[in-house]
Amino acid sequence: MSGRVLVTGADGFVGRALRVLLESNAVLQRAAVRAQSGIAGEVVVGEVGARTDWREALDGCSAVVHLANVAHASVPKSQLFRVNVEGTRRLADDASTAGVKRFVYVSSAKAIAPDDAYGRSKLAAEHALRSVRAIEAVVLRPPLVYGPGVKANFLALLVAVDRGWPLPVASVRNRRSLVYVGNLVDAILRCLVAPEAAGRTYGVSDGVPMSTPELVRAIARAFGKPARLVPCPPSLLDWIPPLRRLSRSLEVDDAQIRSELGWRPPYSFEQGLRATAQWYRARGS
């Protein structure tokens, strides 16, 4: 593609993988970060919100990939909306003024039917972005993202399986979509360059959803260890926050991005999980 791409949240989990992919495809880029991180040519924008000044970061850019957000469950609702909604609106306004054409916003599958403040903030951010008419907005809604560098609940699950802890999920009968970080950034790149993506909202995933017990067994196979699953009434999992979130169903329909853009995940679930396991082992845990 022609022109420079601004990547917000460039020092995060997905941002790092995206920068590698853009570089390998000879795409010029600029990294926007909240604080100095050591990325070459980075622009520090500070806290993301309604007053963030994006002018320096946007100078000379023809496209934006907006990854910066707050996702922690413990964050106050006011902060979620300040960063995720007001920050997105301000960036879209400044991008429009700067002449940016394509704006790819990485939202969340939780925006499909929001049942918490985070999901509602991501859906509100989508609406805020759509209100800026002068840019070509593309929204991606990924489910749980995993891969080298993953944190939070998925990392906790890796630790538990690797250490042989019994997990009380044998009785869980859910369906969860996942997306490997390499597949997600490939979809982002496709949305940056495909003319027909303008104005669209796409789900993106590895493919067929799986249950939490199936996921645990797959992780155990990647580690070459047995899966230790024990039965437990699903209602009791509400007392274990990481397992409560992982044991709920959250499916993503990615048929639209496949049919309209011809996109296919370049990595299988098994390949993605194998790379994640190798990274986990290499980190010395």
Give residues with Cβ within 8 angstroms of 203, minimum separation 6.
Answer: 109, 112, 140, 141, 142, 177, 252, 253, 254, 256, 257
Give one DSSP letter per residue of 63-106, joined into a string.
EEEE------TTS-HHHHHIIIIIHHHHHHHHHHHTT--EEEEE
Q: Count the neighbouring beta carbons within 10 Å of the beta carbon of residue 14.
A: 21
N- to C-terminal Cα separation, the chain: 40
Adjacent-strand bridge partners of 44: 33
- Residue of 171, 186, 148, 141 lying closest to 243 (CA atoms): 171
- Residue of 55, 132, 67, 135 lying closest to 101 (CA atoms): 135
Catalytic residue chosen out of the listed positions 105, 118, 180, 280 = 118
105 is catalytic: no
Tell me if residue 161 falls in helix, strand or coil.
helix
**Joined tokens for residue 131:** 């209100």
Tell me if residue 282 falls in helix, strand or coil.
helix
H-run or E-run covering 31: strand 29-33
φ/ψ of 112, rounded to 5, equals: -65, -50
Q: Measured between alpha carbons, how far is 206 from 183 in angstroms, rounded to an integer?
A: 7
Q: Measured between alpha carbons, how far is 103 from 138 in angstroms, rounded to an integer?
A: 6
Tell me the catalytic residues: 118
